[in-house]
Amino acid sequence: MKKYDLNVAAPTDGRYQNLCSDVNEIFSEHNLIKTRVKVEIEWFIFLSNLKGVTSLPPFSNSQIKFLRSIYLDFNSADSAKVKKIEDVTKHDVKAVEYFIKEKIKKNKHIYKYKEHIHICCTSEDINNVSYALMLQNARARVIIETDVLQKKLKSLGKKYKKVSILSHTHGQPASPSTMGKELINFQKRLVDQILSLKNIKIKGKFNGATGNYSAHSITYPSIDWPKSIKRFLSNLKLELNTHTTQIEPHDYIADICNKINHMNSILIGFSQDIWSYISKSYFTQKNIAGEIGSSTMPHKINPINFENAEGNLGMSNALNHFFANKLTISRLQRDLSDSTVLRNLGLTFSYSIIAYKNLLIGLDKLQINKDKINSDINDSWEILAEPIQMVARKYQISNSYEYLKKFTRGKKVNKDTIHKIIESLNIPELEKDYLLKLTPKKYIGYAIKLCDE
């Protein structure tokens, strides 16, 4: 049975927590503290192996294992200890430093060099790298979920590639397509955005209070610090941002937000289209035992998963827009207004993943309704006015468009009407025969082939 915390305000932590628990864990206060501990420890280890840091000898393998165990075995009791220290310090990163110093007391050799923890750092060095590592994991989750979604769309596209449907442009009957081709349209767009999201470089800085390696160069002047920091960040699978103030300027975060925004906007359009196909009865939805669509209308099976997805995608995009605009601005060498905003980054990932999972749930409930689809398309002979007109133009028949318009615009057209128009044209008999064999269901061009590309 699902468990819900009913004493939280945010639906990402309550109603929908089962859909986005992975992302919630990534951006939790516990994991933020744990990741800060990791960055501090890895910096300590890196310095011990860095030629030129004469005041800190290299750690042995067992000492390194001990140090890494501090963050690898980090638990909720540890994060509670850090928060208790912060109650006194009123500084979250300093609390992490004090926590680590306390943890290494049991190892006398390491404790002897405790002042090298956080040496040449500003708190923003620790924070920006911590958020970068968290964003690595969050991006990976989004890519996994959207990849599952695009594969589902591809599978359905193949399945329905030969199901001709009446298209609607401006809400009016238009040249047909296939249901498969319309699903593949979204799948291809999603694949492009997933690739673009993968290619965004996640960056970090570790260059001190105003981005100039000032403390580094005074403390250990013989070291090429930009080169060394590049190697340190590379060990964490991050790219060095070479020019910053005190803060990493968050441009890559804006890029991630904008990319997720783009992907989500595509999926809002998809949600609305599926909703429309359901409203036209091109898709029906499975009748799940025990589920209720309306509190007063027993017959209803509402497209709730697609509506839920549309709403949550919109929530994510609203946050993405704010993050992209806000986080790229900082007064002079830094202000603290980004700090509180960064703590909300998890929400945009949570809302997105809630939506992606609802789309998958909704898609699994769909059943194609070929009877309704065939009824609509077979009753729409007027759409053949387009191909007939094009063949007439091919043979230089004057005012071809106007001629077809006279018989079809705003009128109910049937097979006999279309055949009379074809017979009236001064075109070769072979062309007439070809057009006379054409039906609305057959007028789909390359739709089937496009599903296989």
**CA contacts within 13 A on the Cβ side of 28:** 16
Compute the distance between CA of residue 143 and CA of residue 49 in angstroms, rounded to an integer: 35
Q: Token digits for 437?
A: 């064999």
Of 60, 69, 281, 294, the catalytic one is 294
DSSP bridge pairs for 240: 204
DSSP bridge pairs for 239: 203
User: Tokens 């709730």 belong to which residue?
Assistant: 304
Residue 241 makes CB contacts below 8 A (sequence gap 6+) with 203, 204, 205, 248, 249
Active-site residue 116, yes or no? no
Of 76, 170, 299, 398, the catalytic one is 170
Compute the distance between CA of residue 192 and CA of residue 147 in angstroms, rounded to an integer: 11
Task: State the burial class of residue 449 (Cβ atoms within 10 Å of its Cβ: 0-12, 13-18, 19+).
Answer: exposed
Residue 300 makes CB contacts below 8 A (sequence gap 6+) with 293, 294
Coil, strand or helix: which one is 354?
helix
**Geometric angle at alpha carbon 175, from 174 and 178, rounded to 5°:** 110
**Geometric angle at alpha carbon 231, from 225 and 234, rounded to 5°:** 140
Longest pairwise C-alpha distance within the chain: 101
Coil, strand or helix: which one is 366?
strand
Q: Token digits for 261?
A: 């925004």
Active-site residue 294, yes or no? yes
Q: What is the DSSP code (8-state) at residue 398?
A: T
Beta strands in 171-326 (DSSP E): 172-178, 203-204, 239-240, 283-285
Compute the distance between CA of residue 28 and CA of residue 241 in angstroms, rounded to an integer: 26
Q: Which pairing describes strands 203-204 and 283-285: parallel, antiparallel, or unpaired?
A: unpaired
Long-range contact pairs involving 15-20 (C-beta distance under 8 Å, separation at least 24): 16/350, 16/354, 19/353, 19/354, 19/357, 19/358, 20/349, 20/350, 20/351, 20/353, 20/354
Coil, strand or helix: which one is 164?
strand
Bin 91: left if φ > 0, else alpha if -120 < ψ < 50, else beta: beta
Positions marked catalytic: 170, 294
